[in-house]
Copies of this chain bind each other. A is one copy, B any other.
Amino acid sequence: MVPSQRSTLKREVVALKRKRIVEAARRLFYEKGYEPTKLDDIAERLGVTKQFIYSYYKTKNELLSEIAEQCICDCLDAQARVLSGKLPIIEKLAKIVEDVTQVIIANQANTIIYLREEMNLEWQIAQKIREQRNEFDHRMMKLLRDGVRAGVLRVVDERVTARCIGGMLVWCALWYRDLGVLSPAAIATLITQNVMQMVAGGTGRIAKTNGRRA
């Protein structure tokens, strides 16, 4: 093995170990709550020593921060990817809603843990996540505004409409398991159709091709 391969492998192993520690912490924070979970419980779940965890995370709170930041970071990434692409405005909006719904469903436990444990985050981390949530809303507001200017969207009020969309997206973390018959992809499509009816009415591509009418 040449040295560069060895260092790549080492990085991969570190990343894998960190990932497994975060997964075990997330499962326990989700099932038992953050406060009652001890680092010992996380070590036990992984079959490692507490010392092993300390090599990667100094405190339980560091794990909470990483878990809480995960979902909004992934949402911002998904949103940025679509915004930087070349789709027409209306399709950008539909694609953001569809992709972010899937991100939220994939990050369901992270989302719930964030909503529960925001007070247990360090002030700077909580503030950073709030700013990221604002950034998400502001990008949506800009897209809605662009759509109105281009004459392809009809928006009640860009500030409130952006947050209505945000609520539809986040809230699915709390209910999607109740509709067990629907796959995450099906739920993402149906939420997207609802958003498109809200802001693109009869003119929306998705509303036109897939939306049922009374």
Contact = CB atoms under 8 A, between A and B. Distances in A.
Contacts of A167: 167-172
A117 B190 CA distance: 30
Query: Which residue, A148, A153, A168, has most C-beta atoms of chain B within 10 A?
Result: A168
Interface in A144-188: 147-149, 151-157, 159-161, 163-164, 166-172, 175, 178-179, 182, 187
Interface residues of A, number: 51
Interface in A109-168: 115-120, 134, 137, 147-149, 151-157, 159-161, 163-164, 166-168
Contacts of A94: none
A159 to B, nearest CB: 6
Contact of A154 (B153, B179, B199, B213): B213
Query: Which residue, A155, A164, A178, has most C-beta atoms of chain B within 10 A?
Result: A164
A134 B174 CA distance: 12
B154 A214 contact: yes
B157 A190 contact: yes
Contacts of A137: 175
B148 A214 contact: yes
| Interface class of chain A by DSSP | helix
Given A116-B118, A160-B194, 19 more contacts: A116-B116, A154-B197, A154-B211, A155-B212, A156-B193, A156-B194, A156-B197, A157-B190, A157-B193, A160-B179, A163-B172, A163-B175, A164-B171, A164-B191, A167-B169, A195-B198, A197-B198, A198-B198, A201-B202
28 contacts: A33-B119, A116-B116, A116-B118, A137-B175, A147-B214, A149-B214, A153-B214, A154-B213, A156-B194, A156-B197, A157-B212, A159-B182, A160-B179, A160-B187, A163-B175, A164-B194, A167-B168, A167-B169, A167-B172, A168-B168, A171-B171, A194-B198, A197-B197, A197-B198, A198-B198, A201-B201, A201-B202, A202-B202
